[in-house]
Amino acid sequence: MLQAAAVGGAGGLVTKTISVHPAHVPHPCMAEIRGGFLNTELWSELPKEQWIETEYKLAKATGLPVIIGLGYTANQIRELAPLVKPYADALELSTHYVGNDISPIINALRAAKAAVDVPVFMKLSPHPNIQEIAIALEQAGADALVMINSFGPCLSIDLETGLPLMGSKEGFGWLSGPAIKPLALRCVYDAARAVKIPIFGVGGVSNGRDAAEMFMAGASAVQVCTEAILRGPSVYGRIAKELDAFLDKHGYQSIEEIKGLTIRRMAEYDALPVVRPPHVDVERCNLCGLCEISCPYGAITKGEVLNIDREKCFICGLCVSRCKLQALAMER
Ligand SMILES: Cc1cc2nc3c(=O)[nH]c(=O)nc-3n(C[C@H](O)[C@H](O)[C@H](O)COP(=O)(O)O)c2cc1C
C-alpha cells in the first residue's frame, strides 16, 4: 500500500504506527458513515519484525521520505527507535493512547530524540488545550507537530441488528474524514499561532481545496488517510494537482503565499468584521430557492429576482454558505 501511495503521487510516506507488540484489533474495525469514517484499529496488527525486515525496505525503495510511526510510552520508544533508525527519514510519535497528562508525551519525545538524529514529529489528538501542549512539545525539542489524530470515542449503530458498527469492547470507534476537518483546522490554526516549528495538517483532507484550507490555517504540509482508504491511493496525486489548480486560479505564485494566510488576515482586524446583509448577484442567481427555504429569519423571498429584507436579515450568513452558484456574497 505504501508503494501504491507513491505511485499515486504521494510526496512522502507515513507508516502505520507500530508498537512493541502487535495490536489485537477488534473486528469489525472500520466503517464508512455519513460525512466521515469510524475505526477502532489501534496500532499495527503486524509484528515489528515484519516491518523492520520487509515493510520499511519496500517503503524506502520508493525513494520518497519515509516517516516512521511509533507508539507510545517512553520505554516502548526507547526499544523501537533504534530498530527502525536505518529506514527513518523522520519519526512520528503517536500520542493517541497515552491520555491527557502531557508528561508521558514529553518523555516519549525525549526518548526518541535521544535514540535518533532524524527529525521527530509529534502526532496529537484534538485536545482543547492544543496551544499549551504545542508549546510544551516545542520547548522539549519536537521538530514538527502533526495534527490531528482521529476523534473519539464515537458511536454508530447498525439499525438492522441494533449493535454498534465497531467491534470494540464498548462498540466505540474514532472519527476521521470530512466530519473532523473543522476540528483539525482549529487545532492547526491554534498551534500555528503558538509555535514556530512546522505543523502537518491532517483530518478530512479530501481534495485540493481542503489542502489549501490547511495551509491557510498555518500548516506546512498535509497528510491524507481516510480519503485514500475510501478512494484508493491515486488520491494523493489528484489532491496535489487540485491544489496546484487552486493556486493558479487565484493567482498565487507559490504555496508560501497561502501558508498561514488566515492568521495574517485575522491580524488585520482589530474588531469583529463589520458585515451588511448579503449582496445578490442577479446574473448568477437561478432562483433555485435553497436560500429561501433555509433562511431562519424569513428574510428571503423569490420574485422576479431574489429579495433580501434588510430589516429581517440577521446577517447569519447561512444563505451565502448554501448558494451553489456563488450568487450571494458577504461584504466584510
Ligand atoms: C483506519 C485508520 C487507521 C489509523 N491508524 C493510525 C495509526 O496507526 N497511527 C496514527 O497516528 N493515526 C492513525 N490514524 C489516524 C490518521 O492518521 C489521521 O490522523 C486521521 O484519520 C485524520 O485524517 P483523515 O481524515 O485524513 O483520515 C488512522 C486512521 C484510520 C481511519
Task: Give the domain CATH number at 319.
Answer: 3.30.70.20
| Same domain, yes or no: 250 and 313 | no
| Same domain, yes or no: 305 and 184 | no
| Same domain, yes or no: 292 and 202 | no
pLDDT tens-digit map of 29-83: 999 999 999 999 999 999 999 999 999 999 999 999 999 999 999 999 999 999 9
Torsion, Cα 165 17 200 7, to 10 degrees, reads -90
Q: Has residue 221 got a pLDDT over 80?
A: yes
pLDDT for position 99:
57
Torsion sign (Cα): 39, 42, 47, 48: positive
* CATH label of the domain that carries residue 142: 3.20.20.70
Secondary structure of residue 154 in the 3-state scheme: strand
Count of C-beta atoms within a 10 Å radius of residue 37: 24
Q: For the chain, what's the residue count?
A: 332
- Contacts for 97-106 with beta carbons within 8 Å, 24 or more apart? 97/42, 97/71, 97/72, 98/72, 98/73, 100/127, 102/132, 102/133, 102/136, 104/72, 104/73, 104/74, 105/133, 105/137, 106/136, 106/137, 106/140
* Residue of minimum CA distance from atom 22 in ligand 1: 203
Boundary-marking domain end, from 234, 267, 300: 267
pLDDT tens-digit map of 225-281: 999 999 999 999 999 999 999 999 999 999 999 999 999 999 887 666 767 899 999
Cα(40) to centroid(ligand 1), Å: 10
Whole-number percent of the chain with pLDDT over 90: 92
**Minimum-distance ligand 1 atom for the alpha carbon of 96:** 11
Cα(106) to centroid(ligand 1), Å: 21
Number of domains into which the chain is organized: 2
| Same domain, yes or no: 108 and 161 | yes
| Same domain, yes or no: 56 and 169 | yes
Averaged confidence pLDDT in the chain:
95
Tell me the average pLDDT across 278-300: 96
C-alpha distances (whole Å) from 311 to each of 272, 290, 297, 298, 321 are 21, 20, 10, 11, 20
pLDDT for position 101:
79
CB 71 within 8 A of CB 96: yes
Write out the DSSP string of 225-264.
-HHHHHH-TTHHHHHHHHHHHHHHHTT-SSGGGTTTHHHH
- d(Cα 248, Cα 253) in Å, to the nearest integer? 7
Q: Across-strand partners of 13?
A: 66
Instruction: Using alpha carbons, select from 292, 225, 211, 306 the residue that is nearest to residue 259.
Output: 211
pLDDT for position 100:
65
Instruction: Answer yes or no: is the C-beta of 41 below 6 A from any ligand 1 atom.
Output: yes
Mutational pocket test of ligand 1: of 226, 227, 231, the residue with most ligand atoms within 8 Å of the beta carbon: 226
| Same domain, yes or no: 185 and 305 | no
Secondary structure of residue 132 in the 3-state scheme: helix
**Minimum-distance ligand 1 atom for the alpha carbon of 41:** 3
Cα(327) to centroid(ligand 1), Å: 37
Boundary-marking domain end, from 216, 235, 267: 267
Cα(244) to centroid(ligand 1), Å: 25
C-alpha distances (whole Å) from 154 to each of 33, 147, 301 are 11, 19, 40
Instruction: Answer yes or no: is the C-beta of 280 below 6 A from any ligand 1 atom.
Output: no
Whole domain around residue 312: which residue ranges?
A: 273-332
Q: Which three cell numbers stand for residue 216?
A: 491557510
